Amino acid sequence: MKMIKSLLLAGMVLVAGAASAAELMVKDAWVREAPANAMALGAFATLHNGSDKMRTLVAARSAIANKVELHKTIMEDNLAKMVPQEKVEIAAGSEVKLQPGGLHIMLIGPKQALKAGDKVEVVLEFEDGVTLPVSFEVRKGQGMAMNHGHMSH
């Protein structure tokens, strides 16, 4: 009987986790194509929160990079500066755009060159423990370039 209760409880936890992930949608996920010697790649998407509560993105990870960080671009003294972010909050029933020149995911130390059409798997991690695997499409330069020769961290 204890085993049946444990299995039922585990099933309810899995269903609750799946429902939380289902309320999160990622649209138009892409990574900018960059030369083989690029130090970092910007990853962009629109994060939609279909739930009735705040959702908070706290981390991301990918096997394609040595390190993955949440960043925000700010302008300081006419220089684009990358500022690491501890979290990205997505209000209930709204969306947040991860885009060039604003909030984005930074894939630092790419392990291989990426060409337009390639796919990059990134796992988004939320404060409540939900993880969401997302396939990002590599695209030729759109928007602001992530050339770190003109940026500061």
Give the domain 24-152 fold. Answer: Immunoglobulin-like (2.60.40)
Res 20: pLDDT: 59
Give the E-state strand segments of the chain in sequence order: 24-32, 40-49, 55-61, 65-76, 79-84, 88-90, 95-98, 103-110, 119-126, 131-139, 151-152
DSSP assignments along 125-148, one per residue: EETTS-EEEEEEEEES--SS---G
**Is the sign of the CA dihedral 144, 146, 152, 153 positive or negative?**
positive
Res 34: pLDDT: 86
pLDDT grade, residue 143 (50/70/90)? Answer: very low
Angle of CA points 57, 138, 49, to nearest 5°:
25
- Lowest-confidence pick of 7-16, 105-114, 119-128, 141-150: 7-16
Average pLDDT over residues 28-35: 93
Average pLDDT over residues 20-49: 91
- Chain segment 61-112, per-residue pLDDT in tens: 999 999 999 999 998 888 889 899 999 999 999 999 999 999 999 999 999 9
Average pLDDT over residues 39-45: 96
pLDDT grade, residue 10 (50/70/90)? Answer: very low
Res 147: pLDDT: 41
- Provide the mean pLDDT of the chain: 84
Has residue 150 got a pLDDT over 60?
Answer: no
What are the residue ranges spanned by the domains of the chain?
24-152
